[in-house]
Amino acid sequence: MTRKSDPIKKLTPEEKENVTKTLRVCVTGAAGQIGYAFLPLISNGSVFGPHVKIQLRLLDIPAAVKALEGLSMELHDGAYPLLEDVAFGSDPEEMFKDCDVVVFIGGFPRKQGMERKELLSINGNIFKTQGKALDKVAKKTVKCLVVANPANTNCLILQQNAPSIPKENFTCLTRLDHNRAVSQLWKKTNMPLYSIKNVIIWGNHSSTQYPDVNHGTIAEKPIKKVVEDEEWLKGAFITKIQKRGAEIIEYRGSSSVFSAANAIKDHLRDWYHGTEPGTWVSMGVVSDGSYGVPKGLVFSFPCICKKHFEYEIVQGLHIDPFSQEKINITTKELEEERDEAFAEEKKPQEAAAGEQKE
């Protein structure tokens, strides 16, 4: 008896394109907890899909190289069909070479008693070095996602030090804040998570961020009409999202890990595959001047993503006075961070200019 073979599935045009697609992805700070939680997601197809093969590059400080080797062993032992190869090291030029995507999780954490200015200075040096390495060896089409805090300003420093790479290729993570906002609305209303759409995180990934529900819907109805609690929406809801990271640290003793890894996955997946029709997501991107935000700041906006890492900022949304005030506050903080981050860099330039005049 002859057994008939299974019919060959006809691939869609997109599947045909992706079946031979390979992305080289570098993760910095890979030996840390967020990296440990994120790497299985990118290796099993949760990020770029089941038809995209992955070449992983793991970067961390020299003291973590042994841990990276162990991590590489685990990735191999996972037998992920999409994982083509894994390389690791502490040299950014070596790890960034020919990369399609780089996820910047690694950064210097804020310690007790540390001034924000000090944190900006230390991380500024890290991202300045990595930006120059990126500019030198990565593909000019490389797409960058900065997670390490202060994420917006770290992203700005990175972008400024990689001038040959388009500004649109640099983003920072505010999807975790976006997901937190959706989750709080779910808890408040008991409506399905998938029915909650188009909340917005404006501004900085910090306690000044503004979670905005004015344009969002739940089951296709305006959020304000479903919740019907203006005091909560303008008070406790905003405060909860702004302080959620600190709240988790208080209870866990350390910052968010798998929720952050999941948000990285969501950000990259939507950036690569595109957002659903009629929906947007929150992304930190280089401002083009939309909504009066100064050009060049890395600012969280509502974004619509198209396929293959294209996005556009949602235009034409009405901003009421309450929202405008909140947006102004977070904009001011980002301007202050920018000025602090680049202040040390300007000093030698100003001194040299003074010497030339003399």
* Bond preceding residue 150 cis, omega within 30 of 0: yes
- Distance between CA atoms of residues 109 and 105, nearest Å: 11
Which residues, 6 or more positions from 92, have their beta carbon under 8 angstroms from its beta carbon? 28, 59, 129, 130, 133, 134
Please identify which of the residues 51, 76, 178, 205 carries the catalytic annotation.
205
Q: What is the structure's pLDDT at 353?
A: 42
Residue 318 is among the residues annotated as catalytic for this protein: no
CA triplet 147, 149, 153: central angle to 5 degrees? 95
| Domains of the chain listed by start with CATH number | 18-172 (3.40.50.720), 175-335 (3.90.110.10)
Q: Are 176 and 256 a contacting pair, CB within 8 Å?
A: yes
DSSP 300-340: EEEEEEETTTEEEE-------HHHHHHHHHHHHHHHHHHHH
- Distance between CA atoms of residues 225 and 339, nearest Å: 41
What is the side-by-side strand order in the sheet with 196-197? 196-197, 217-218, 221-222
Tokens of 73: 């062993």
Q: What is the structure's pLDDT at 345?
A: 63
Q: What is the structure's pLDDT at 102?
A: 98
Q: What are phi and psi of 20, to 5 degrees?
A: -110, 10
Q: What is the structure's pLDDT at 244?
A: 95
pLDDT tens sequence for the chain (358 residues): 333 433 444 556 665 555 568 999 999 999 999 999 999 999 999 999 999 999 999 999 999 999 999 999 999 999 999 999 999 999 999 999 999 999 999 987 766 555 666 777 788 889 999 999 999 999 999 999 999 999 999 999 999 999 999 999 999 999 999 999 999 999 999 999 999 999 999 999 999 999 999 999 999 999 999 999 999 999 999 999 999 998 998 999 888 999 999 999 999 999 999 999 999 999 999 999 999 999 999 999 999 999 999 999 999 999 999 999 999 999 999 999 999 988 866 654 444 344 444 4
**Which alpha helices (DSSP H) does the chain contain, by range?**
13-18, 33-43, 65-77, 92-96, 116-137, 151-160, 175-189, 223-227, 230-234, 236-242, 244-252, 258-273, 321-357
The pairing of strands 52-59 and 83-89 is: parallel
Q: What is the structure's pLDDT at 352?
A: 38
